[in-house]
Each structure stands twice: as C-alpha cells, then as structure tokens.
Amino acid sequence: MRINKYWNLLAVLPLLIMFTYCDNVQEEIVPLSVEDFRFDGPLGSQGAQIAEIDTNHFKITLDHAPGNPQWPNKLNFEITQNAKGNNLTLEVEFDGGPSMSFNEYAQSWSYDAQNWQPVHWEYGRNESPQYDILEFDPFEQDQVFVGTQVPMSFEDAVSMKEEWASHPDATLYTIGESSQGRPLYRLTIKKGDSEVAPEDRWAHYFANQHPGEHNSQWRMVGMVDWILSDEAREYRQKNISHFIFFMSPDAPTHGWYRVNEDGVDMNRSYRAEGANREEQTHEAYLWQKDLEEMMESETPVTTIWAMHTWGGIVEPLLKTGPEMGTQVGSWEEFKEIMETLDEDGLIKPLAVREGPPRYGPVSWSDGPHEQFGITAILCEGAGAFYTKQENLDSGVVLIKSIAEYYNQNLRN
C-alpha cells in the first residue's frame, strides 16, 4: 500500500510542477506602439499626428477645425490593442495660436466607451493653453477609449434615441441629412391620447449646438429619461418636449468642437430674419426651418434651451417670454423651484440676461427670442462635472423644475 502511495505521488508530481511554473510566469506585456492608436473612430480627432518618444511615451500633435486654424480639434482616440499592463504618457500640442485651447476641460477614459473615468491635464488651459501632458496608470484591458469631457459619439446618441422611440409617447423624426450624410434626428415626446388639447400644452425645445460639449448632451439624457418615466406622466399630458442632441452630427468622429464641415460655429448659425438656404450653412438652415414649422403648429414652442458646456456647475441664463408672470408665475418663482429641487448644488441660481444679446441674434438662444419673442435659456456650465451621473442628475433637476413651474396652468 505504501508503494502505491509513492507511485501516485510520482504520477501527479509533474502536474504540480507545471502548475507552479505557470503561476510564476507572468503574461508577456507588449509595449504600446504608434500602430495601436486610432484617431478616426466614432470618437476621433481629424488630422492628429502621433510620434513615439520613449516606451509608452508619445507626442500627439492636434490639427484644427475646418476653416478655423486657431481652433484645435479635440483629443479623442482609441487604443485598439496592447494596452493591458502598460502605463501611458501623452504629450499633446497644438500650435495654431491661443484663440482656443484643447485642455480647458478634463478628459475621460473607458474600456467600453460607456463607463468613463476622468483623467486630468497636468497644466490646464490657464497655465499652458498650447501644450499639456496626460498620465495614465497601467491599464487592465487591451482596448481603451479616450475623449473630451464625458464623451458621447453620434452612434451613442442614435442608440439611445432608438431605444427611447420604443416608448409609446416618443417619436424619432428625421428632418434631413448632414453634409456627410448622417441623419438629423429630432426626438419628440408627447402624450398621444392626452386629455389636454394641443393648443393648451406647453412646448419645450432643447438643443445642443456645439457638438464637442458632451456634458450638456448627457444633461439632456437625464431630462429624457425622467420625461419617459412613470413619475412624469402628468408632465407628458401637459407638455411637448423636443430634443436635438447633435446639430452637427458629423463632428464627433473628427473631434470638431464647435463646427460643422463648413467650419461654421453652429451657435452662430441662426438667422432671426428667417431661415434662408442661401445664407445659412446646410444643417443650420434645416434645423431653423424645422423650428419655424413648429412655431406655426397647434403647439408652438414656449421655451427654447440652448445646451452648452463651460466652466463651473450648470448655469442657466434667461430671456423671459410672454407667459412668465401672466399665464404662469414670475421668473423668480421658476428660480425658487429650481433652487429647492437642486439639493446637491449642481446648478447656479437662474439669472435673467439683461441688456443686448450676449452673442447676438445669430445664436440659438437670442435668435429665436428675437424672432418669436419666446422664452430663451442659454444653459451653460457643467465643465466642473467629471462623471456622467452628475450631468444626468443636473438634467433631472432642470426638467423637474420645468414640470413644476409650467404645471401651474394650461397654455390657454
């Protein structure tokens, strides 16, 4: 019996040695190379150049937006392979002049382009607007995505819109195509069998003009999610909501922060005298024509929200319309509602913009206000938000405030 035990031990000994050896052998880590980086994906940076400086240390030189040599394309790219186990140092440069910088906001990184983590510039815009450094700790997976703010690709927006459109109260409209052939989508949410007549409902229009200001787009996602929830059933009875996530859907894959293919700043593309195919860039003409058609409908737009991102928390700036203080409460009541609902301090107090228009009638807040006299909100801020959830939560506060304020009365 003892001899059999020895033979059994000898039989398994090679397996024990093999397993021990395998446990001690580390997986081979292949350093990153220039070929592992992609700048032309759904989140891209047109014209970006990359060069290797040292092991896992690269320099990226950014190109500029169409027709605007002083406006850098944003840093968006994908590491397609070999990231696992490697840290990464990126030196980023743009030599087009200090008019705009690429590093005024934090970047984000992700393994799946859905769950994002912030990564911060070493210097920032104020200290070094044309050169900066990003440092990444060793990655745990081979594929990595990097983008500006909390990124959203056009494909992300389309996927969400298609899912929302499965709700019986949501409809996805195509009003045309972009210069590069992408659909121009408007998501409209309204209760089809509402007891409230169309002419008695309030209508709210939310649009993102600058395609690289992604935090403002996630703010709108928070609004849509709430509107389609059970909690918002009464809101859907009394209100119609229109959402445009990308006035320039061609931009994300190129890293264009403000412009379309023609190099036109999309928040300087409105025409208060009326839409004009000859005098406006392609997408702006189609969007304004669509808005003008809504203004002639049974439920013309009551409020227009231009959704943007700049430094700090969310900052809504108001141009009052005729319903404020007459059909509904004063704008100060709107402010108080918003402050009460904002338990986490995500939004600055609502403020009225006095004096001449900040950007003039070519902007998508001042232009519609001048053309139609409607309530217009320039909704800025959220550059201080580094997570998707903060942006979603700020959107919920805004839409709940709209719901409570406009619930005071019907339109007529």
Span 266-281, pLDDT tens digits: 999 999 999 999 999 9
Give percent above pLDDT 70 in the chain: 93
Q: What pLDDT is recorded for position 354?
A: 78
Question: Which of 81, 79, 67 has the alpha carbon at shortest distance from 43?
Answer: 79
User: Which amino acid is residue 386, in one-letter code?
Assistant: Y
Q: Which domains are present in the chain?
A: 34-148 (2.60.40.3120), 154-406 (3.40.630.10)
Cα separation, 380 vs 309, in Å, equals 5
Give percent above pLDDT 90 in the chain: 89
Q: What pLDDT is recorded for position 360?
A: 84
- CA quadruple 34, 101, 270, 219: dihedral sign: positive
Q: What pLDDT is recorded for position 99?
A: 76
Burial of 13 (0-12, 13-18, 19+ CB in 10 A): exposed
Lowest model confidence (mean pLDDT) among 19-33, 204-218, 326-340: 19-33
Query: Residues 33-54: what's their mean pLDDT?
Result: 98
Radius of gyration of the chain (CA): 26
pLDDT higher than threshold 70 for residue 8: no
Cα separation, 157 vs 155, in Å, equals 5
Per DSSP, the residues of 300-321 read --SEEEEE---SSSBEEEEE--
300 and 203 in contact (C-beta within 8 Å)? Answer: yes
Cα separation, 162 vs 178, in Å, equals 19
**Cα-based angle 396, 397, 403 (whole degrees, multiple of 5):** 85
Query: Residues 233-237: what's their mean pLDDT?
Result: 96
Cα separation, 232 vs 317, in Å, equals 25
Element (H, E) at 346: none
Question: Which of 272, 282, 205 has the alpha carbon at shortest distance from 239?
Answer: 205
111 and 46 in contact (C-beta within 8 Å)? Answer: no
Whole-model pTM over 0.85: yes
Lowest model confidence (mean pLDDT) among 35-49, 346-360, 378-392: 346-360
Condensed to tens digits (0 to 9), the pLDDT of residues 60-105 reads: 999 999 999 999 999 999 999 999 999 999 999 998 876 789 999 9
Condensed to tens digits (0 to 9), the pLDDT of residues 240-252 reads: 999 999 999 999 9
Name the H helices within 191-308.
Answer: 214-227, 233-238, 282-295
Q: What pLDDT is recorded for position 100?
A: 86
Q: What pLDDT is recorded for position 125?
A: 94
Cα separation, 89 vs 135, in Å, equals 5
Tokens 């301090």 sit on residue: 345
Cα separation, 227 vs 157, in Å, equals 17
Condensed to tens digits (0 to 9), the pLDDT of residues 155-179 reads: 999 999 999 999 999 999 999 999 9
CA 24 → CA 16, 31, 83, 84, 263, distances in Å?
13, 21, 22, 18, 56
Q: How many CB atoms lie under 10 A from the CB of residue 382? A: 31
Cα separation, 292 vs 308, in Å, equals 22
Looking at every residue in the chain, the average pLDDT score rounds to 93
Longest dimension (CA), the chain: 102
pLDDT higher than threshold 60 for residue 291: yes
List the structure tokens of 163.
Answer: 């899912």
**Residues facing 145 on adjacent strands:** 78, 110
Question: Which of 100, 93, 94, 22 has the alpha carbon at shortest distance from 59?
Answer: 93
Q: How many CB atoms lie under 10 A from the CB of residue 237? A: 16
